[in-house]
Chains A and B, each alone.
Chain A
C-alpha cells in the first residue's frame, strides 16, 4: 500500500517535467482557428512539398488515404442555422507521445529539437504507432506509389519517396529546418533566427492562421501567440503534451 502511495506522491518526478528544457529548440506551431477559413491550401502545399502520393479512389474507399495534413470539419446547429468549424489536424509532435513508446524498433523517437521523428528505413510496418496515436495522423503505405510522367519531375529531392510497408506522418518540414540550420552555420551563427523556418503549410496559409517557430526563444512570434488566453491543446486530458497549440475560435454572437 505504501509503495502505491509513494508512487502516486512522486508521480510528477517520474514524469520529469524539466526534461525538455535541456533541448536546443522546441519547435512549436500555433493554429489560430479564428483566422482559419478551411480553404485547405495548407493540405495542398503539404502534399506538394512532402511527396505525398495520390492513392486513388479504390484505396480511399478502403480507408487507405494518405494526407499528412487534413482539415476536419464540424457542423454545428440545425439547418438553416448551421455553423462550420474547420480544424487543421496534423502530427502534434507530442512531448509525451504514445506512438514513440510502442514502436518495437524505435523507428519513431523524440529528437533534441522536440520533434517526433519518423525514420522510414527503420520502420518495419507494425502500425502500432497509428493505433496508439489519439489524433489519427499517422498514415501507412499499403502500396508502392508511382508518379506518371511528367509528375515525377515535381518530386521534392529533399524528401525521400516512401516505400510500401512504412508509416509516415508530418515532420514539421524537417528538410526546411535542416536547411535553415545549415544556413545559420554557414553564417557563423549558433541558432536559427525566428522566421527563418517556415513549413510548407505555414508559408501557404493565406490568412496567416498558422505560425511556426521556436518556443525556447521568448520573443519569437509563436511564443507571443502561446500567451494568448484562447490557447488550448487538442485532447489535453490525455496528457500527450502536444507541440501544436490551437487558439479557440471566437463567436461574435456567442458573447
Chain B
C-alpha cells in the first residue's frame, strides 16, 4: 500500500495561498508606507548634502551643530554660519545662491527636523557629548547621507541598553530621562 501525496497537497494549497497573499501584502504595505509616511526621510527646503560637507570635506559635526556641546538641544546652524564659508566658497551654486537669498532677506531656512524625540523625554546633548559619545551612535552614518534619514529608532530600549552598557550612575532610573 503506497502513500498518497494528495492529502499533503490539499494542505499545502491553502498554506501557499496564505503565504502568497501575505507576501504581496507585505510588499504593498512596505512601499505604501514609504510613499505615504516619508517622515523618516523628509525633503528639506534646500537640498543640503551631508555627504559633501561631513563626508568629503570632513567638517566635524560640532563645527556647525556647535550648540550640542553646551546646551541640551543640538540646534540647527544659523544662516549666518552657512554664509561664514559660503560668502567665498561655491558662490556660483544655485543652492548656495538660495542660502544667500535667505541671508539677504534675513529670514531663517525652514529646515525639517529629522530626529525628533517626544516632548516627555529629557535628552541633554551636552551631557552625551561630554561623555564621549559619537554622534553616529544615535544618528547613523550621516556623513554618507545626501538626504538625512532617521536610521536609529531612538526608542526607550536604545537609551536603556546604552545606559546599562556605559554603567551610567542611576542611568535606568525613570526620572533620568522622563520629565
The interface of chain A, by Cβ under 8 A from chain B, is 24, 109, 111-112, 115, 117, 119-122, 157-161, 174-175, 178, 182, 185-186
Contacts and interface: CB of A to CB of B under 8 A. Distances in A.
Given A158-B179, A161-B119, A182-B124, A119 B173 contact: no
A117 B170 CA distance: 14
Contacts of B173: 111-112
Contacts of A161: 119
Contacts of B3: none
Contact of B179 (A115, A175, A185): A175
Interface size class, chain B = 10 to 19
A111 B175 contact: yes
B126 interface: yes
B179 A174 contact: yes
B178 A112 contact: no
B127 A160 contact: no
B120 interface: yes
B102 interface: no
Contact of A186 (B126, B175, B178, B179): B126
Contact of A158 (B122, B127, B130, B170): B122
B174 interface: yes
Given A112-B170, A185-B127, A120 B122 contact: no
Contacts of B124: 182
B178 A178 contact: no
Interface string B137-179: 0000000000000000000000000000000001001110011
Contact of B174 (A111, A157, A182): A111
B176 to A, nearest CB: 8
A182 B175 contact: no
5 contacts: A111-B175, A157-B119, A160-B179, A182-B126, A186-B126
Given A117-B174, A182-B127, 6 more contacts: A24-B170, A111-B175, A175-B179, A178-B122, A182-B124, A185-B130
A119 B127 contact: no
Nearest to B178: A119
Nearest to B73: A157
Contact of B175 (A159, A174, A185): A174
Interface string B70-96: 000000000000000000000000000
**10 pairs of A and B residues whose beta carbons are closest in the complex:** A160-B120, A119-B174, A117-B175, A111-B173, A119-B178, A160-B179, A112-B170, A111-B175, A160-B119, A182-B127
Contacts of A117: 174-175
Contacts of B122: 158, 175, 178
A120 B178 CA distance: 8
A121 B170 CA distance: 19
Contacts of B130: 185-186
A161 to B, nearest CB: 7
B179 A121 contact: no
Nearest to B156: A121
A109 B126 CA distance: 28
A182 to B, nearest CB: 6
Contacts of A185: 127, 130
B43 to A, nearest CB: 27
Contacts of B179: 158-160, 174-175, 178
A120 B118 CA distance: 13
A115 B175 contact: yes
A186 B128 CA distance: 11
Interface in B1-35: none
A94 B82 CA distance: 53
A182 B119 CA distance: 19
Contacts of B120: 120-121, 160
B174 A109 contact: yes
A112 B175 CA distance: 10
A109 B179 CA distance: 14
B3 to A, nearest CB: 55
